[in-house]
Amino acid sequence: MDPFTSTLTAVTSEVVREAARPLIEQGRRELVRRRIRKPVEADAVLQSVPGPEVGLFDALDLLRSLPVGVAPSHIQRAVKSRTFSVLSRQLLAIALCGGTRTDKDRIERGLRGLLLRTLAPAQRPDLLRYCGQFFTLLDLCCTDVSKKVRAAFKQADPTYTWGDQPLLKATVATIEQSVSAMETEEKGTWRQEYVTAFIRTYEKIELPDFDLRKRVHYSKIFVAPNFAMLQLDEEPYEPRRPGRGRSGYQTGFHSLVTSVGHTVVLGDPGAGKSTASSVIGCRWSGEGRGICYILKIRHIDFTRSGFNLVKSIRQMISETFQQEVSEQNISRSLLDGSALVVFDGLDELAETVSGRLVSHAIEVASLAYPLARFLVTSRRLGYTAVQLDRSIFHDYILQPFDSGQVESYARKWFTFRSEGSEKQLKKAVMDFMGASESIPDLRENPLLLAVICLLHAGHSELPRSRPKIYRKCVELLLRTWDSHRGIGEHRLDLEVFEIVLAEIAHLTLFEPAHRAGMTESQVREVAVRVLLRDAVSDRFEAVALAKRMINLCRGRAWMFTDVASGPPDAEIFSFTHQSFQEYFAARRLVLTCDTPAELAVEIEKCVLDEKLEIFSQICLALSGEKFVSGPTQVYLHCLRSNAERPSRAQGAMLGFLSRTANLVMLNRTALLALVRKVLRHMSSDTGFNALPVLLRSDYRSPLALRHVIGEALREMWQEDRADLARICDLTPWLWEICLREGVVPLTDVGRLFEGYMHKMVSEEDSCSAEWLMKSLQGRRTPALGDRDICVGILEGVAEQIRTYGIRTEDGPEAPYALFENNPMARLTSRALARHQQLSPDAVVGLVSVAMAFCEVSAHYQPGAITERTGVLYEFMEARLRREPSQLPSGTGNLPRADKTRIDRWCRREVSFFEWVDLSVETG
């Protein structure tokens, strides 16, 4: 092969491999979503493709057939163009999922057009002949790469089929449209001008500080979040498990930027969805990956038949950047794969627009432009009703900040506040981290973290309740505004300000005409009406106060402010974040309800319509400010009325009440009523997720809540043992709760090692055996059990063994966490060493559990029990050597029958468990 053909082959192969990367990344995400343990890595696959065999191209002789007037550098320039990359990706799609000869002819036509434009000086007949040879080269490269890709995915998941991938089929289906769009060369510098304007607009973030109202580059305040992909068997909204919280396939911010694909980013209020999407757009554009269009979904004019994506983008560019771009240029950017389209706020739809219609319109657009990248943001709550097709889009959850990210943000924030030395800055950050340590669930939210930073700068304590934090925001806003404007004696009353914002929030949240905001004149009109109704008697004073409020809010992009300019009295005002809007709307609803029952009815409407859960939670929290035992009264009314609803509606309501129970103060009566209803509902699918929420270790008064759950279980055991036993069979972790609360006896020692509770709620104890050993020697905590219950469990084990002997059962599937750092071995040895504190029967039970653990450990991790583990090591060694004389000396003090039974176990005449592979256990 001549040097030019060799070089061109290498360059073409490299371009094809890179064109295959998005396809491989897309397939990899699908494998991850299916929980394939070893998904395909794009780099590994592409590195295994060294390029087509040299012999395949000897006959092409691309150097000798090069047209007159065409230099090799001209050909290489064409190969490195975006159009060539698009054609390569389309040809790969044909090779992977199948296509017709007509499809290949279209790509060859596109290649011919590219070369004709690039190699204009060449003679046309020679060039056409050369195009045919060059297409053969490209086709062979794509075939070679596709074979490697198919083999890699087949090895990872034999059931994976490329022909079932909608985006791949759409890529083939749109070849004609794509080739036609690229037949004419793009003219002008509109891309460069747009990218410059885009970055200038979105690269700066409003600093969350009333005193320092300034926009700074995102790198100075933005902390890159992490994302977790939703698996196929996960729902968009599931309560995070304590101690884990960041489940699923993890990916970093940079990884998401480079492989954004067709992605949905879900997050809780204030999680930073819009900010993250803006930064992704800046990175995408600034790093030369392409061009980004950010569309606010609430601003798109959707009709019953959908919307026109190209026209919507053109209108956005015209209104936001004051630039005019042709629809042809926009369409080309979508077809050539250089565009990233961000649909921000799928959850912020107008009441008159169907969420499912919008989702379908976005799906249609993504299939019409399969090479473009699409990023959609939405709240987790409510996304189920508008969920995008999971065969097209991959759902990622924006993860809460961990302590490192919180500290990084605090450092950046205090850098703008502190004028001291580096040492003083470190101290300020350390003080903040210590002061906010008690509210990790609040500071992990970026929006609330900004508020907490601000509160910490001016207050000695931080409130835990979200409504109190929102109220502090209002106080900060008023106090800061007053001090800077010298209002002094004419301070604006906080309560007056709140009732006006509450009315505006209600209108903008529930009235379709005001969903996008209110004009200045409308805000003033509402404020005057409310002030005359609730606060002042003189209209002149009301108008003056309304104007002061508007001036207070104008230009402060924090809570309620002007969001769009316009002629006098026509500026648009709106809440900067839905969290504040919901807080004030909730205050208004609570104030207007005369009884807890009336408030409960309004909350039920929102919950059963699967809307405004955060709003409903805030209503519950605020009910305590108006009614005596407000949350308790609302809960009891909701639970009473819930009995008449269909099973699914009951489950939705119980799920909401369970998730909210940690946010409000409830008395024992309300908690017990809630737990009773949840347990009675356990037989339906919708009830299974409610009880684990109540078992969270970070719950308000978790010890008292565990007692309440135990009381409800004992009642159920007394009323209908068969029903509770049936539910425990369906949900084994519930049996563990019953055991730990002393509701049911232990009849099978192996169940102590199953660890279903650990898997369900990610509690610290790996299984009930570890919980039992901790409880025997630890102080009373929410995670540990009552010592009398634990002693009773051990005495029950002794009675079972004395009655039936050591019965061989199937070995349990113990969790891996049981052997991490060997806590169980150390705890068991310590309990054995302190056996004098137990009754004789409990000692026999304890020794039996220790013997059972030796068998479990020998099967799963033979080296887990060593000399360092103390007394337990003597049991293990005696069984391994079959020498009863090597058992701990204390066993000689046990009753003769019990000692004989232990000796038989030591000689391996009896065993607790039978394993599939006994050779592992017997060493």
Closest CA to 291 of 362, 343, 217, 341: 341
Place 757 in a pLDDT band, splitting at 50, 70 and 90.
Answer: confident
Domain shared by 521 and 668, yes or no? no
Whole-model pTM: value is 0.58
Place 55 in a pLDDT band, splitting at 50, 70 and 90.
Answer: very low
| Residue 1, SS3 per DSSP | coil
Long-range contacts of 38-41 (CB under 8 A, 24+ apart): 38/156, 39/156, 40/152, 40/153, 40/156
Find the domain containing 660 and state its range.
599-765
**In contact, 908 and 882? CB cutoff 8 Å:** yes
Domain shared by 217 and 284, yes or no? yes
Give the residue, 792 or 271, on which the prediction is more confident: 792
- Alpha carbon separation from 314 to 293, 330, 565 (Å, rounded): 10, 7, 20
Q: Which amino acid is at 154?
A: K
Q: What angle do CA 30, 33, 34 make, to 5 degrees?
A: 90
Domain shared by 588 and 606, yes or no? no
Per-residue pLDDT, 234: 59
Q: What string of DSSP letters covers 322-358?
A: -----HHHHHHHHHTT-EEEEEE-TT---TTS-HHHH
**In contact, 878 and 886? CB cutoff 8 Å:** yes
871 lies in some domain: no
User: CA-to-CA distance for 285 and 298, rounded, in angstroms?
Assistant: 24
**Domain stops at, among 170, 185, 200:** 185
User: CA-to-CA distance for 816 and 823, rounded, in angstroms?
Assistant: 12
Give the residue, 509 or 182, on which the prediction is more confident: 509
Domain shared by 657 and 742, yes or no? yes
**In contact, 544 and 594? CB cutoff 8 Å:** no
287 lies in some domain: yes
**Domain stops at, among 399, 427, 453:** 399
* Helices 446-458, 422-435: inter-axial angle, 10-degree rounding: 110
Q: What angle do CA 304, 308, 312 make, to 5 degrees?
A: 115
Domain shared by 583 and 603, yes or no? no
**Domain count across the chain:** 5
User: CA-to-CA distance for 593 and 597, rounded, in angstroms?
Assistant: 9
910 lies in some domain: no
780 lies in some domain: no
User: CA-to-CA distance for 525 and 660, rounded, in angstroms?
Assistant: 36
| Residue 720, SS3 per DSSP | coil
User: CA-to-CA distance for 61 and 53, rounded, in angstroms?
Assistant: 15
Domain shared by 199 and 325, yes or no? yes
Domain shared by 612 and 572, yes or no? no
Domain shared by 349 and 445, yes or no? no
885 lies in some domain: no
10 lies in some domain: yes
Question: DSSP assignment, residue 240?
Answer: P
Per the document, the length of the chain is 923
User: CA-to-CA distance for 742 and 824, rounded, in angstroms?
Assistant: 22
Domain shared by 194 and 121, yes or no? no
Tell me the pairing of strands 227-229 and 394-398: antiparallel
Domain shared by 534 and 420, yes or no? no
User: CA-to-CA distance for 421 and 429, rounded, in angstroms?
Assistant: 13
- Hey, which residues does 264 pair with through a beta bridge? 376, 395
333 lies in some domain: yes
Share of the chain above pLDDT 90, in %: 20
Q: Map tokens 């008159």 to a residue.
A: 352
229 lies in some domain: yes
pLDDT digits (tens, 9 = 90+) for 667-677: 889 888 988 88
Say which CATH number the domain at 313 has: 3.40.50.300
pLDDT digits (tens, 9 = 90+) for 308-340: 999 999 999 999 999 999 999 999 999 988 999
Q: Worst-scoring range by mean pLDDT, 135-144, 523-532, 585-594? A: 135-144
Domain shared by 379 and 295, yes or no? yes
Domain shared by 139 and 215, yes or no? no
pLDDT digits (tens, 9 = 90+) for 458-499: 655 566 666 777 777 667 655 554 444 443 434 557 778 888
**Domain stops at, among 744, 765, 786:** 765
